[in-house]
Amino acid sequence: MDIQKDLSYNQFLALLLIYCSYADCKLKKKEKEYIRSKVSQSDYKIIHDYYTKSSDYDVIQTILKYKRKYYSTVKEQEKLFAEMKNLFLCDNDYSHIEEEIYNAITALLRGTEK
């Protein structure tokens, strides 16, 4: 599978959530469990492997590439932002870094980069 061409919605969601989960440089157990509750084990493995082998720039470019495909409406955007927020809150430790990453990603996805 070519990650750049063939991401399903669940794989896209896994990539976004995995990217967000590493905001504080570590994937916490509860964050991993949350992501795994949203996607299949095979999608999680494929995307986690892609994430660990890719640069930050490449991951962001991949996320942005699927912007129009998977969250073109306000309703779809709000659903995605809620998933991100739920991930950050799942371990009851919403850090300043996580808040900054949430704000940056939502700005990128909305097309309001600063």
Q: What is the pLDDT of residues 2-48, one digit of tens each?
A: 565 689 999 999 999 999 998 878 888 999 999 999 999 999 999 99
In sign, the C-alpha dihedral spanning 5, 42, 18, 81 is positive
Q: Among 110, 113, 114, 37, which residue's Cα sits nearest to residue 80?
A: 110
Residue 72, domain CATH: 1.10.3680
Cα gap 36→24, rounded to integer Å: 19
Looking up tokens 């870094």 gives 97
The percentage of residues in the chain with a pLDDT greater than 70, rounded to a whole number, is 93
Quick check: 113 pLDDT over 60?
no
Residue 72 lies in domain: 3-110
The pTM assigned to this predicted structure is: 0.85
Amino acid sitting at position 93: D
Give how many domains the chain has, as a whole number: 1
